[in-house]
Structure 1
């Protein structure tokens, strides 16, 4: 996070307060465990005020804390990234040019795409949900991943929750986060945000997650999300649903039962110079740069 803030601070939104609440039932983490964890990693943690505690249902929430956890503005981050690319120079962006496969070559591999083919000694397959389709079409081993058709509800919050974020942990609960590019909040729920789940497995033909996204019925689960969230925070009964973001979420199968998002960096065993990268937390991108520099040579 410090490196991300240093380079992309203009995209970081911290004009709100983030609260973590521990559910009285079904939580895998107790208040004491959460406090010990925050102390161990040096994360600031403050008890909520009496007024803030009143937002939560006392029979459903055993403890609540104020923490430091900002959000980012996606539009500003895009602008900053494009500015960096222009300063570096020599980078051609082809956002609509679908990559089909990577073919071996000596000394350069060939990247076969919709708009032509390209030669390179170094290829990074960072196509997220499409990572296995590129590998399969390149006759390379697949990665064990799980895809989810996910809905993030965009909502308007009632006062006094307009300038806050809330995460109830650690189990089948919900999270509210500001979405600065729209001036709204996102509401996600462990139980209701995923509308479907499926896996790509080694040795099997991978699915086309984006075809599943385009063909999905998209019946919003917002009513169920809001109803369950209001059991923990009664003020959320006044939440207004504005829209929903629909996307494919892809994680390693090993991360299925927790919220870990380790970056996967996998070297191809035969095509030297080809690596596959899968990451889920945007500020973790700096963790993979060292591996890239070591592998390719700085």
Structure 2
């Protein structure tokens, strides 16, 4: 669709972060537009992941990521309760061998987080878990991606946020006190403020504005959707090259993840390879899907033997971006950067960070407009 040619806030990227920021900015009485390169919102990393809302237990080597997750967890649950699925036992187990965080240290970390958990042994769990005897039950939940997208669309339409889909931003430049935004669909829009929530494309646009950009680690991941006749549970094995099994939203299916095998390709660079954005040229296009799944089952059934009976339903695939050179801590924070008081970038860590990130950015935008 064609967008107004002069707006207060232009948001680049229609993922969960961009959508949430646009809704909050519109609530302040500003004119807001979203530019999304894909044909719908939430078609990027917002949906191509485990759809887990974190309370921090997954990051025992980085307390900052853990605390950020706690900050976002309740806010997200309160704002989007219809998409939350929490009616299952969700457990973290520590691998008996080769865990970067031994069980005693993991339990100490759980205490530092300050949220509810209960120690359990694998023998107490309703699904057989082996080679990881000690663990916890926690209150983490998953969200149903399709329901979340419907909720966001309702909010965007109700708020009258303008949205241009299938419209990649080609160039952003300064035009006096405004920004000039040029898009693939020949939209030419001037904005007082630009919020770059384009995720893996952040550095390309920041470079156009003359800002120094840091190297990022870009990863292309493939997460199998599986069908298996077991109780509805969540199982994560820490802390290293291990696995996670979680319900797939409110469906009867599960998502299966392995820290190393899920990562089809990895590259550290200042910008992502554009071929990764097109399924026909992305790294997973060159992979034998059945052999990939067979290896995934082999690795994960070492801890959950019932997975040997799993059937492949499909895949969630796409690129993601994380901080480079953070193997020691596995840090996944969300970072808001403010350039020139009118150009913001969002380095998105976890989905449930989106509410507080949007609040933080909108408070800064309100200051600019004296609201």
TM-score computed with the length of structure 1 as normaliser: 0.88
Task: Name the CA distance, whole Å, in 1 between partners of 2:257 and 2:93.
Answer: 15
User: 1:79 maps to which residue?
Assistant: 150
Cα contact 1:101–1:135 (8 A) shared by 2? no
- 3-state DSSP of counterpart to 1:192: coil
Structure 1 residue runs of 4 or more that deviate by more than 3 Å after TM superposition: 48-51, 136-140, 209-214, 254-259
User: 2:34 maps to which residue?
Assistant: none
Are residues 1:128 and 2:182 paired? Answer: no
RMSD of equivalent CA atoms? 2.2
User: 1:263 maps to which residue?
Assistant: 334
Which segments of 5 or more consecutive residues in structure 1 lack a partner in the other structure?
none
Displacement of 1:281: 0.6
Work out which structure has the larger RCO, using CA pairs closer than 8 Å and 6 or more positions apart in sequence.
2
User: 1:18 maps to which residue?
Assistant: 90
* CA shift in 2, pair 1:257/1:51, >3 Å: same
User: 2:249 maps to which residue?
Assistant: 180
- 3-state DSSP of counterpart to 2:317: strand
* CA shift in 2, pair 1:219/1:137, >3 Å: farther
User: 2:288 maps to which residue?
Assistant: 219
User: 1:189 maps to which residue?
Assistant: 258
Displacement of 1:181: 5.7
Residues 21-170 of structure 1 mapped to structure 2, 5 A cutoff: 21-46=93-118, 47-48=120-121, 50-52=123-125, 55-57=128-130, 60-89=131-160, 91-115=161-185, 116-159=187-230, 162-170=231-239
Displacement of 1:279: 0.4
Task: Name the CA distance, whole Å, in 1 between partners of 2:165 and 2:135.
Answer: 43
Q: Alignment partner for residue 276 of structure 2, among 194, 207, 210?
A: 210
User: 1:280 maps to which residue?
Assistant: 349
TM-score computed with the length of structure 2 as normaliser: 0.72
Displacement of 1:21: 0.9
Cα contact 1:157–1:236 (8 A) shared by 2? yes
* CA shift in 2, pair 1:68/1:261, >3 Å: same
Cα contact 2:129–2:304 (8 A) shared by 1? yes
Displacement of 1:5: 0.7
* CA shift in 2, pair 1:256/1:138, >3 Å: farther
User: 2:316 maps to which residue?
Assistant: 245
Displacement of 1:41: 2.1
Deviates more, 1:12-21 or 1:177-186: 177-186
Task: Name the CA distance, whole Å, in 1 between partners of 2:147 and 2:298.
Answer: 33
User: 2:267 maps to which residue?
Assistant: 198
* CA shift in 2, pair 1:218/1:130, >3 Å: farther
* CA shift in 2, pair 1:206/1:123, >3 Å: same
Q: Deviations over 1:21-77 (max 9, x none)?
A: 1101110122222222222323222225745277122xx213132221100001111
- 3-state DSSP of counterpart to 2:362: helix
Cα contact 2:182–2:189 (8 A) shared by 1? yes
Displacement of 1:280: 2.6
Which segments of 5 or more consecutive residues in structure 2 lack a partner in the other structure?
1-72
Q: Deviations over 1:69-104 (max 9, x none)?
A: 100001111111111222222x11112111011111
Cα contact 1:132–1:200 (8 A) shared by 2? no
